[in-house]
Structure 1
Amino acid sequence: MTILLTGASGLVGSAFARAAKRRGHRVIGLVGAFPGAIDGLEVKQQVDLSNDAATTAAVLDAFPEAIVNCAAVSVPEQCDANPALAQALNVTLPTTLARLAHHVSARFVHLSSEQVFDGTHSKPYAATDALAPINLYGRQKIESERAVHAAAADFAVTIRAPLLMGNSVGGQRSNHERLFADWAAGRTPRLFTDEFRQTCTAENLAEVMVELCERQDLRGIFHWAGTELVSRYALGVAIREHFKLTATQAPITAVARAEVPEAARKRQARLALNISPLAGKLKTRPQAVAEQLAELNVPPPCRAWYLGLQ
């Protein structure tokens, strides 16, 4: 099928392009200013996705069988810094895409976030649990979900995703890539020992999203994540050990949320997701942390630093 992909240069978007190509689909990728090649795309188009008319023209020109939305301002601090742009990409864009999906009868796969929850539950969140975001990003994701399913109820599926691992096109977007950037620059990241996430890789999530393009019988909101809940600190240590770095070469400071109350106020303590409803319907399987680590590469911007340690 022909799939129109927004955010094709991002961590999930680029992974989706590769996964869709492997399954024989034709992917038209929309990017902003990204100049490089993206593996898996048959066509790459530069489109201002904050411009409704430009987005509409791109969709109608492609007339796709499926639309996949991976474009977002996904860092909460960046949403706070530029709320107008975040609103345009996190809410207005998916709303427009959903209306267009309904218009051209295309499957619509929308990417949302675990941050629609407040992180106070001791049990994994179900898709039907009450929403209680603690930041602007989470509020925008809720608004986008409601708009998408109102505009394209017969065509749309939303995936709420967790903290993501993986190898981005530029080597600067994912969790391990940001850690490497700190270490290469001589900085010591501070990671919470009591902040827990159920991480998965962008590649694994992309496989799920490709399956959902093909499974038009699945509609509504679902959760996807890995199989293990792990603290930010434990994950950082696991990444360091995977790349055979020492604590001197790649230092990490362990901190508790109570030590940094201002930061903790804007971050959820525990985000575990109930993935059983979707995992029971797909061929793609959720991964343990060890499987996720095995997929990670040394980020290109940090390779010289890393090789210098060997």
Structure 2
Amino acid sequence: MRILLTGGSGQLGFELRRSLALYGKLWAPGRDELDLAHPDRLAGPVLGFAPDLIVNAAAYTAVDRAEAEPELAERVNAEAPSELANLAEHLGATLLHFSTDYVFDGTGTEPYRESDPTRPLSVYGRTKRDGELAVMSECSRHYVLRTSWVYGSVGGNFVKTILRLAAQRDTLNVVHDQVGAPTAAMLIADVTALLVARLREGRVPPYGLYHLAAAGETSWYGFASAIVDAAQRAGQGLLLQPGAIRAIPAADYPTAATRPANSRLDTHKLRAALGIVLPDWRHHLQLVLQQLSVRQG
């Protein structure tokens, strides 16, 4: 199997380079070789490699900056996936594309199912929604995996931000009225690898749209408290104590892009298709904190 991985230098791409390397010839080009900001330049390199599987982990993820750069976000998050979908269809390849909870408006009171209507609140959410639609309409062999609150040991993310602030401050305000499931990049990568293994074995799960997120739920405030508590117990010696984190409403922390209040995703469809159990979000938090501790040490 020939596998093309876009976004290989990002926090998810880093883990996918590990998990997918067992399943064939893996090409994870840098931006100088394959730049999704220029969809019109993708055909040559992609057709030259002729992958059996394209895994698109590249995205414009600067949620707030996207409000000021909608054209760039559109090219990377919508136009490039559309081009990859057409190239995959031409090659007879499978396209696996990652999306986000931001396609929802967050007003629902239950975890979102794949069949629920999308109503994005931001440029980022809208462009990711448009990318989903392009992949699903233009490539017959597609998997779209929506996930939420992604973090890892590589790149910028909430866990690393909280650890940095906790080393500098003795108090911290964190939003309490936005709820979701923190999902480690390593979990997403391992589930993706399982799906790829099934494809290679000919046990093809039904193509389509799936939700992939860790089990359980918490708020950003609860996530921050868990990060600081676990780091303190591991002896990292942070200035901030868990009890010094203050819960505030999102209205008191204005951002350029509006976040969904409810980011919970119903994962029943994916668990049934692959026969897996998705662990509680705290499980992988411990592993990522250990990775970060080793790197800092």
Paired with 1:54 and 1:141, the residues of 2 have a C-alpha distance of 20
Bigger Cα displacement from structure 2, 82-91 vs 177-186: 177-186
Of 46, 49, 54 in structure 2, the residue corresponding to residue 67 of structure 1 is: 54
Task: Name the CA distance, whole Å, in 2 between partners of 1:30 and 1:197.
Answer: 32
Distance 2:256 2:74 in 1: 24
Is contact 1:240–1:246 with CA below 8 Å preserved after alignment? no
Tell me if the contact between 2:176 and 2:221 (Cα under 8 Å) persists in the aligned partners. yes
Aligned-pair CA distance for 1:134: 0.9
| Distance apart, 1:143 and its partner CA | 0.8
**2 CA distance for matches of 1:103 and 1:188?**
55
**Among residues 74, 89, 108, which one is paired with 1:87 in the alignment?**
74
Deviating 4+ runs (over 6 angstroms): none
Q: Does the 8 Å contact 1:20/1:26 carry over to 2?
A: no
Alpha-carbon shift at residue 247 of structure 1 (Å): 6.8
Question: Counterpart in 2 of 1:38?
Answer: none
- Please state how far the C-alpha of 1:113 moved relative to its aligned partner: 0.5
Name the structure 2 match of 1:267: 259
1:98-177 equivalence runs, <5 A: 98-152=85-139, 154-168=140-154, 172-177=155-160
Aligned to 2:221: 233
> For this pair of structures, how many residues does the alignment match?
287
- Percent identity of equivalent pairs: 26
User: Mapping of 1:1-310 within 5 angstroms?
Assistant: 1-21=1-21, 23-32=22-31, 46-152=33-139, 154-168=140-154, 172-184=155-167, 186=169, 189-213=172-196, 214-215=198-199, 216-244=204-232, 248-249=239-240, 253-257=245-249, 259-260=251-252, 262-263=254-255, 266-297=258-289, 299=292, 303=296
* Deviation larger for 225-234 or 288-297: 288-297
Q: Quick one: structure 1 residues 52 and 300, their matched pair in 2 at CA, closer, same or farther if it must change by over 3 Å?
A: farther
What per-residue deviation string (whole Å, max 9, x for no partner) do you get for residues 140-168 of structure 1?
1111111111111x211101111012211
Pairwise CA distance, 1:180 = 2.2
The residue identity in structure 1 corresponding to 2:9 is: S
Aligned-residue offset at 1:241: 1.4
Q: Contact conserved, 1:4 with 1:27, CA < 8 A, in 2?
A: yes
Relative contact order: is structure 1 or structure 2 higher (C-alpha 8 Å, sep ≥ 6)? Answer: 2
Q: Would the aligned equivalents of 1:49 and 1:89 in 2 still touch at CA under 8 Å? A: yes
Q: Give the secondary-structure state (helix, strand or coil) at the position aligned to 2:42.
A: helix
1:48 Cα deviation (Å)?
2.3
Q: Is the 8 A contact 1:200 1:226 kept in 2?
A: yes
Equivalent AA in structure 1 for residue 228 of structure 2: R
TM normalised by structure 2 equals 0.88
Q: Tell me, yes or no, if the aligned pair for 1:258 and 1:264 is still in contact at 8 Å.
A: no
RMSD across aligned C-alpha pairs, in angstroms?
2.4
Task: Go from structure 1 to structure 2 and tell me whether the alpha carbon gap of 1:243 and 1:260 turns closer, same or farther (over 3 Å shift).
Answer: same
* Cα 1:299–1:62 shift into 2, 3 Å: same
Unaligned runs of 5+ in 2: none
Q: 1:186 to 1:32 in 2, by over 3 A?
A: farther
Do the aligned residues in 2 keep the contact of 1:192 with 1:255 (CA within 8 Å)? yes
Amino acid at match of 1:3: I
Q: Is the 8 A contact 1:193 1:231 kept in 2?
A: yes
> Retained in 1: the 8 A contact 2:4–2:28?
yes
